[in-house]
């Protein structure tokens, strides 16, 4: 159930209810944050929100709340409000048994949520912790919320909830950026409640998402335990539009699938992929800085993956991930709309995974390639591997490469620092076709410099579309209409 947390003041709560009643399934009233919210005011809010389910929470400070009094004092304050009979009341795991019994006796129609919060970590043995602090007591529903310090904390929570939600109402949440997937994918896990934000700035816990984003971007209402999960793995990932474009395509295909973005640290990548084998993850798009290490976690690599030495696509077959690279073919198909590449001189900026893939594809179609990189030794090494010329960016000039036909930026320069460019303006030939694979911002500093020179420019989304088409075919594992995919991805992209 999508559950909007109401807090701070009567007016704030009233405004949110009026704006979100048609979207949400439940409201949690955080009485510990309201100050002086009397019973009559709460009654008015209950009436306004009816027939939507309600949770009454008066959170103790020891579990992240605002109330610093005793359990007895809390119970005395809470009782008059309980007379309004909310659907649920949330009590902490360490609430004395006498108050749990009194709740059942005095308010038998109110269902009890027993909750546990750890704002520092996710316990290494989640199953044992849950049995000890929650399942050892009788309740109508259980809530476990812990801080994710490693991406695998979120995957362990995923596994726990999938198991425990089979025969009880159970909610498992990992707080923080690394736990975001447990919120987006709550219906896939089987979590009962998903605590969301009705308005920016009113987050009650780190990592909470907006209800509008969940419903519109991730098609939250269509997710269930049978949903297949696909994801972008990288660092950074914030700039990528793939969570929007790919979910629109899944909607068009009527696929029970969802696409999310996951930011990983380098030391997390391998263990994440291996743990994901046993969960409903069916494919990954891989971006910087993991393309050159992703192949190590694949059961097999196709010829592209082996030759290029970089992988941008992982797809699952029979419980194992296999790897390939669609960057090269994506770049070629985009370029072919502008120029015939055979015999043309192409400058490739960068020496990473994307550069490797695009260089290999260009080589196969007969282009003459020159690799330019900030670190000259990397340019020289990659050039030697592919049998072409390579220079450091400071070595590059019209003397070293005379009037290239195409310039392709495969680096991330210009993405985060929008004022930066991988190539000086004087190094851009007036007749060159200049392509930047960066998708955000759409118009990078490099492309602006090229336009000032009168060059034809290609935007990052053009390659993005064609490499994504190849990924979708592998992800879905069936024949798909390429023209329909192209139109769907472009339509979604231009709605951004």
Please report, for the domain that includes residue 409, its CATH number.
3.40.50.720
Q: How confident is the model at residue 448 (pLDDT cuts 50, 70, 90)?
A: very high
pLDDT tens-digit profile of 209-233? 999 999 999 999 999 999 999 999 9
Between strands 368-373 and 345-349, the pairing is parallel
For residue 69, say whether it is annotated as part of any ligand binding site.
Answer: no
Between strands 88-92 and 281-286, the pairing is unpaired
Residue 249 within a domain: yes
Q: What pLDDT does residue 340 have?
A: 97
Q: Are residues 54 and 177 in the same domain?
A: yes
pLDDT tens-digit profile of 302-340? 999 999 999 999 999 999 999 999 999 999 999 999 999
pLDDT tens-digit profile of 59-118? 999 999 999 999 999 999 999 999 999 999 999 999 999 999 999 999 999 999 999 999
For residue 59, say whether it is annotated as part of any ligand binding site.
Answer: yes
Please report, for the domain that includes residue 59, its CATH number.
3.20.20.70
| Residue 11 burial class via C-beta count within 10 angstroms: exposed 0-12, middle 13-18, buried 19 and up | exposed
431 within 8 A of 403, measured Cβ to Cβ: yes
pLDDT tens-digit profile of 457-468? 999 999 999 999
Residue 103 within a domain: yes
Domains of the chain: total: 3
Q: How confident is the model at residue 402 (pLDDT cuts 50, 70, 90)?
A: confident
Q: Are residues 57 and 202 in the same domain?
A: yes
Q: Are residues 69 and 174 in the same domain?
A: yes
Q: Are residues 139 and 176 in the same domain?
A: yes
pLDDT tens-digit profile of 138-167? 999 999 999 999 999 999 999 999 999 999
Residue 332 within a domain: no
Q: Are residues 273 and 293 in the same domain?
A: yes
Please report, for the domain that includes residue 249, its CATH number.
3.40.50.10860
Q: Are residues 152 and 286 in the same domain?
A: no
Q: Is the pLDDT of residue 398 over 70?
A: no
For residue 110, say whether it is annotated as part of any ligand binding site.
Answer: no
Q: How confident is the model at residue 55 (pLDDT cuts 50, 70, 90)?
A: very high
- The two tokens of residue 383 are 């050039």
Residue 221 within a domain: no
Q: Are residues 146 and 196 in the same domain?
A: yes
Q: What pLDDT does residue 495 have?
A: 74
Is this prediction's pTM over 0.75? yes
pLDDT tens-digit profile of 4-29? 999 999 999 999 999 999 999 999 99
C-alpha Rg value of the chain to the nearest Å: 27
Q: Are residues 201 and 247 in the same domain?
A: no
389 within 8 A of 348, measured Cβ to Cβ: no
For residue 152, say whether it is annotated as part of any ligand binding site.
Answer: no
Q: What pLDDT does residue 389 have?
A: 95
Q: Are residues 64 and 208 in the same domain?
A: yes
SS3 state of residue 228: strand
Q: What is the domain extent for residue 162?
A: 2-216
Q: Are residues 255 and 362 in the same domain?
A: no
Averaged pLDDT of the chain: 95
For residue 312, say whether it is annotated as part of any ligand binding site.
Answer: yes
Q: Is the pLDDT of residue 496 over 70?
A: no
Residue 222 within a domain: no
Q: Please give the positions annotated as active site.
A: 117, 143, 291
Q: Give me the percent of the chain exceeding a pLDDT of 70.
A: 99
For residue 285, say whether it is annotated as part of any ligand binding site.
Answer: no
Residue 51 within a domain: yes
115 within 8 A of 142, measured Cβ to Cβ: yes
Q: Are residues 368 and 479 in the same domain?
A: no
Residue 204 within a domain: yes
pLDDT tens-digit profile of 358-396? 999 999 999 999 999 999 999 999 999 999 999 999 888
Angle value at C-alpha 83, between 81 and 85, nearest 5 degrees: 95
Task: Read off the pLDDT of each residue in 256-284 and give the average, rounded to a whole number.
Answer: 98
Residue 333 within a domain: no
pLDDT tens-digit profile of 170-184? 999 999 999 999 999
For residue 30, say whether it is annotated as part of any ligand binding site.
Answer: yes
Q: Are residues 22 and 145 in the same domain?
A: yes
């Amino acid at each position: 159930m999508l559950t909007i947390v109401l807090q701070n003041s009567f007016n704030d709560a009233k405004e949110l209810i009026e704006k979100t009643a048609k979207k949400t399934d439940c409201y949690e009233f955080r009485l510990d944050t309201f100050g002086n919210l009397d019973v009559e005011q709460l009654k008015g809010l209950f009436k306004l929100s009816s027939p939507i389910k309600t949770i009454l929470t008066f959170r103790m400070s020891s579990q992240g709340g605002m109330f610093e009094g005793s359990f007895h004092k809390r119970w005395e304050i809470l009782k008059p409000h309980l007379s309004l009979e909310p659907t649920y009341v949330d009590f902490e795991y360490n609430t004395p048994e006498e108050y749990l019994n009194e709740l059942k006796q005095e308010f038998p129609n109110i269902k009890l949520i027993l909750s546990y919060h750890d704002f520092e970590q996710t316990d290494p043995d989640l199953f044992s912790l849950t049995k000890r602090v929650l399942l050892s007591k009788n309740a109508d529903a259980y809530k476990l919320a812990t801080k994710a310090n490693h991406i695998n904390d979120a995957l362990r929570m995923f596994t726990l909830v999938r198991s425990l939600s089979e025969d009880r109402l159970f909610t498992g949440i990992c707080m923080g950026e690394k736990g975001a997937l447990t919120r987006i994918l709550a219906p896939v896990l089987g979590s009962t409640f998903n605590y969301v934000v009705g308005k920016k700035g009113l987050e009650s816990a780190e990592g909470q998402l907006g209800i509008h984003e969940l419903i519109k971007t991730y098609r939250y209402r269509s997710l269930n335990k049978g949903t297949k999960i696909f994801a972008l793995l990288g660092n950074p990932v914030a700039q990528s539009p793939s969570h929007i474009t790919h979910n629109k395509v899944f909607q068009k295909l009527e696929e029970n699938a969802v696409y999310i973005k996951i930011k990983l640290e380098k030391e997390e990548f391998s263990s994440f992929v291996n743990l994901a084998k046993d969960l409903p993850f069916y494919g990954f798009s891989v971006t910087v800085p993991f393309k050159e290490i992703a192949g190590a976690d694949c059961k097999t690599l196709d010829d592209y993956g082996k030759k290029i030495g970089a992988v941008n696509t992982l797809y699952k077959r029979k419980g194992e991930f296999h790897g390939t690279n669609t960057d090269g073919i994506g770049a070629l198909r985009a370029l072919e709309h502008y120029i015939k590449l055979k015999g043309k001189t192409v400058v490739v900026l960068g020496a990473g995974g994307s550069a490797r893939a695009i260089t290999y594809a260009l080589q196969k179609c007969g282009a003459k390639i020159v690799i330019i990189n900030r670190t000259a030794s990397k340019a020289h090494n990659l050039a030697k591997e592919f049998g072409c010329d390579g220079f450091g960016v400071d070595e590059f000039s019209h003397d070293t490469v005379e009037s290239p036909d195409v310039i392709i930026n495969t680096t991330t320069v210009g993405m985060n620092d929008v004022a930066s460019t991988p190539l000086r303006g004087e190094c851009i030939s007036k007749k060159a076709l200049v392509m930047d694979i960066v998708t955000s911002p759409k118009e990078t500093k490099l492309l602006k410099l090229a336009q000032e020179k009168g060059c034809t420019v290609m935007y990052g989304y053009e390659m993005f579309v064609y490499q994504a088409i190849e990924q979708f075919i592998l992800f879905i594992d069936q024949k798909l209409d390429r023209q329909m995919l192209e139109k769907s991805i472009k339509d979604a992209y231009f709605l951004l």
